[in-house]
Amino acid sequence: MTQTPRYTLTQRLLHWLIAFLALLTLGIGMILGSLGFEGTQEIFGKATTNAFYTGHKTGGVLILIFMFLRLGVRLVSGAPPYPSPLNAFERVASRTVHGLLYVALLTMPILGWLATAAGGYPVQFFAWNLPGMIGQDKALSEILFSLHGIVGWVSVGLLILHIGGALQHWLIKRDAVMTRMSLFR
């Protein structure tokens, strides 16, 4: 029996690493965005709130680094051929959602980084503070934070479509699409 062609091991490792980081960082971002600094402190306490902020910023910077790496690998290695061709709708839908996920996951951390710096807050990466890149500007910071939040919600929508599509191939159509990205056969 011929085996399903798969993404390279580097691409599959990066996919699952970024998936884990994105779900975690988006989850924390939703908490911080909906409760705000004071609200988060009231419910979770000071230490956990600080850990949420550091974790969210660190996760975002890691996603940015891994996404650049992933884009480079994708441009060099491409994508494997499908074992059986997708129909026209699946082809357009998967290309659009994958493309928009690349754009969203590269844009979101950059917006968060610049919004944080413009607001005069530290751009934390683990125990370090990274350079802000732009000067302090409160009005600009508010605009950038709004955009950061909008791209965040768009990403949630894209991920629901993406994970729904993957599960549909895996559990309903039972074809080999999931195998292309899985770490183990």
Which spans of this chain sit near ligand HEM (rule: CB under 6 A)?
Answer: 15, 18-19, 22-23, 74, 79, 94, 98, 101-102, 105, 159, 162-163, 166, 177-178, 180-181
Nearer to ligand HEM, 105 or 118 (CB): 105
Nearer to ligand HEM, 60 or 141 (CB): 60
Nearer to ligand HEM, 110 or 166 (CB): 166
Least Cβ distance, residue 72 to ligand HEM (angstroms): 11
Least Cβ distance, residue 93 to ligand HEM (angstroms): 10
Least Cβ distance, residue 42 to ligand HEM (angstroms): 30
> CB under 8 Å, gap of 24 or more: what pairs does 76-83 form?
77/7, 77/8, 77/10, 77/11, 79/7, 80/5, 80/6, 80/7, 80/180, 81/5, 82/177, 82/180, 83/4, 83/5, 83/175, 83/176
Nearer to ligand HEM, 11 or 116 (CB): 11
Least Cβ distance, residue 30 to ligand HEM (angstroms): 14
Listing DSSP states for 79-145 in one string gives: -PPPSSPPPHHHHHHHHHHHHHHHHHHHHHHHHHHHHHHHTT--EEETTEEE--SS---HHHHHHHH
Least Cβ distance, residue 102 to ligand HEM (angstroms): 5
Nearer to ligand HEM, 20 or 128 (CB): 20
Nearby residues of 177 by Cβ (< 8 Å), 6 or more positions away: 82, 166, 169, 170
